[in-house]
Amino acid sequence: MIGVFDSGIGGLSVLKALRAELPHEDFVYFADTAHAPYGERGDAYVVDRTRAVVERLRAAHAVKALVIACNTATAAAVHVVRAEHADLPVVGVEPALKPAVAASRTGRIGVLATRGTLGSAKFRQLHASLAGQATFSLQPCDGLADAIEAQDADRIARQCAQYAQAVGPFGTQEGQTDVLVLGCTHYPFATRELASVCGPQVKLIDTGQPVARQTRRLLGEAGLLRTAGAAMLSLDATGSLPALRAAVDRWL
């Protein structure tokens, strides 16, 4: 069984890509909703919660691999998890800046993410590695993940308009932003609202498919890849399981 972990429902966007890439694998999705959101918390808090969740996934579900489907948790804690669980294949997520550079024609890229992700050393290193290859407009999106968790349509629409407009103007002409990076796993669930602000010519990029491909690669290298049989999905949470099941029914 593969463990997939997020502070809430955002990681379901990654789980969807994982299930498409690995149709014979069993998954357990863990939502730490009782302690969410992570994006506006300090690193120490996120590290503590990530450690606790990984221990629970290993003890209760005997996971053979782990996908940290949360940008904030990856930035703050993936190195800790890899050091403390060296026998466990671990895949993290990060804002898809490199794919965005490859996709952009104007060289101007917007990045929507949480403050925790944008302020992390891991993100700063990634950003610095692409210096000179594109111009990135970095926008912290306070409250957007929480609005998506709550399925508050008015708030989602309002905040998407506010944050997306901050990294515009959008288009395919010189000086315009033609790629928008969704730097939080919650944000793919607001693509309709974001696209309405950006317009059809702007490419929205998230991390689901690259993470799924990397997970397949690591499982294959470890001899853990399952290539036949029916797959099962289990759910676990520190908050409301019925609410998580409802989100799964809606998004998957």
Q: Which residue has the tokens 């990654």?
A: 14
Of 134, 127, 214, 199, the closest CA to residue 168 belongs to 199
Sign of the four-CA dihedral 241, 246, 247, 248: positive
Per residue in 125-153, pLDDT (tens digit) is 999 999 999 999 999 999 999 999 898 99
Alpha-carbon distance of 172 to 174, in angstroms, equals 7
Please state, rounded to an integer, the average pLDDT across all residues of the chain. 95
User: Is position 215 annotated in a ligand binding site?
Assistant: no
User: Is position 185 annotated in a ligand binding site?
Assistant: yes
User: Is position 6 annotated in a ligand binding site?
Assistant: yes
141 carries an active-site annotation:
no
pLDDT of 139: 98
User: Is position 29 annotated in a ligand binding site?
Assistant: no
pLDDT of 252: 86
From the options 3.30.70.1450, 3.40.50.1860, 3.40.50.300, 3.10.20.70, give the CATH code of 97-205: 3.40.50.1860
Which class would CATH give 2-93+208-251?
alpha beta
* CA geometry: angle 143, 144, 149, nearest 5 deg: 100
User: Is position 33 annotated in a ligand binding site?
Assistant: no
Per residue in 208-229, pLDDT (tens digit) is 999 999 999 999 999 999 999 9
Give the per-residue SS3 of 176-189. CECEEEECCCCHHH
Of 224, 248, 219, 226, the closest CA to residue 236 belongs to 248
Per residue in 74-92, pLDDT (tens digit) is 999 999 999 999 999 999 9
pLDDT of 37: 85
Alpha-carbon distance of 246 to 110, in angstroms, equals 31
Spot the catalytic one: 141, 160, 184, 198: 184
| DSSP per-residue codes, 120-158 | SHHHHHHHHHTTTT-EEEEEE-TTHHHHHHHT-HHHHHH
CATH 3.40.50.1860 intervals, the chain: 2-93+208-251, 97-205
pLDDT of 36: 86
What is the phi-psi region of residue 110: left when phi exceeds 0, alpha when psi lies from -120 to 50, beta otherwise? beta
70 carries an active-site annotation:
yes
pLDDT of 166: 97
Spot the catalytic one: 70, 141, 160, 198: 70
Q: Which residues of 152-167 are buried (b: 16+ CB within 10 A; e: fewer)?
A: eeeebbebbeebbeeb
User: Is position 114 annotated in a ligand binding site?
Assistant: no
pLDDT reading at 41 higher than 90: no
